[in-house]
A = this chain, B = another copy of it.
Amino acid sequence: MGIQRVAVVGASGYGGLQTLRLLSAHAAFEITYLGGERSAGRSWSEICPFLPLADELTVDSPDPDRIAAAADFAVLSLPNGLASQLVPPLLEKGVRVVDLSADYRYRSLEQWAAVYVHEARTHQRTDADLCREAVYGLPEWHGAEIAEARLVAAPGCFPTTSLLPLLPFLKQGLIETEGLIVDAKTGTSGGGRAAKEHLLLAEASESISPYGVVGHRHTSEIEQLASSVAGCPIQIQFTPHLVPMVRGLLSTVYARLRDPGLTAEDCTTVLEAVYRHHPCVRVLPVGTYPATKWAKHTNQALLSVQVDGRTGRLVLMSAVDNLMKGQAGQGVQCLNLMAGLMVSEGLPLAPFYP
């Protein structure tokens, strides 16, 4: 199989930049198209002197025909709502798509519109069928479907870190489905590259703060997959916090064990069994808790479990680099599967510590 041609749309945002960095070092893919609105018409080396690409490309105002002429695959890293305007023509022209936005993460267009109210008002959508067709791009759980898919909706950092440790316990019925709490902590790059006052270094550094308390949009996305795997409706109490660091996401998940006799070792074995053959998930030994720095610049999720025998509670910890396994790395992982490659090909699994 030859080298696959990939278009990256939304190239100069953090998701786009990280995708380009990964693909530029990937032996099986070639970057053949750069799309973006803000920087349309400018050459890449002018926009990003710090990330030279093998071929000098000019950023194009995204056009389905030109993308289809240039590429076999497209990775879309656009604000929510925009991907839904590009995806239908791309699929029609035979381009297989990995979308990093939320546009195709819900099985139902109605639910998407209910959660992304503002975006739904701005962007007319009639692609309910594509919402149903799209595969949720969590490779450890949907690998086979991703491999065959035309359209993959890669989940972001919050759902990925919440679901990876939770799903095995939900699937095996080891925890109560009621009372689940996800306390999540994210670096500021999760807020994107557009300039916002609260993400300035002067504002965000030396501070931690909760936001979107109760009703954050990712709650419903986490609940959708958790419910599907558990086989019953699941409600999550999800609270994100902004942490003064560039990259990294840690979720601390609290659940109650059905069998209070289970130990941390037992629960670690549960995770190990599920993820044994998944190179992008690593289960840490009991008593070793993940620092997000350990996952930085890698496409690996680090999981750890602790059990409180006193309270009968399970504490799950899950760390990723939010721009890698939490975004662009996950996208490349999906691309690998779609192209018939090894799932972790071209993806770094070891950090540049410190």
A residues whose Cβ falls under 8 Å from a Cβ of B: 14, 17-18, 21, 24-25, 48-52, 179, 181, 183, 185, 187-189, 191, 193-197, 199-211, 213-215, 235, 237, 239, 241, 243-248, 250, 252, 254, 256, 284-285, 288-294, 296-297, 302, 306-308, 310-311, 313, 315, 317, 319, 348, 350-354
Contacts and interface: CB of A to CB of B under 8 A. Distances in A.
A245 B208 contact: yes
Given A14-B354, A49-B294, A247-B206, A241 B185 contact: yes
B293 A206 contact: yes
Contacts of A244: 201, 243-245
Total copies of the chain: 4
Given A189-B354, A207-B291, A246-B354, 18 more contacts: A50-B302, A183-B252, A185-B208, A187-B206, A193-B197, A195-B196, A196-B200, A201-B244, A206-B248, A206-B296, A207-B245, A209-B289, A209-B290, A210-B315, A213-B306, A213-B315, A235-B311, A241-B250
Contacts of A296: 206-207
A309 B350 CA distance: 43
Contacts of A205: 201, 205-206, 245-246
A197 B197 CA distance: 10
Contacts of A293: 50, 203, 206-207, 209
Contacts of A183: 183, 252, 254
B213 A317 contact: yes
B311 A208 contact: no
Contacts of A214: 306-308, 315
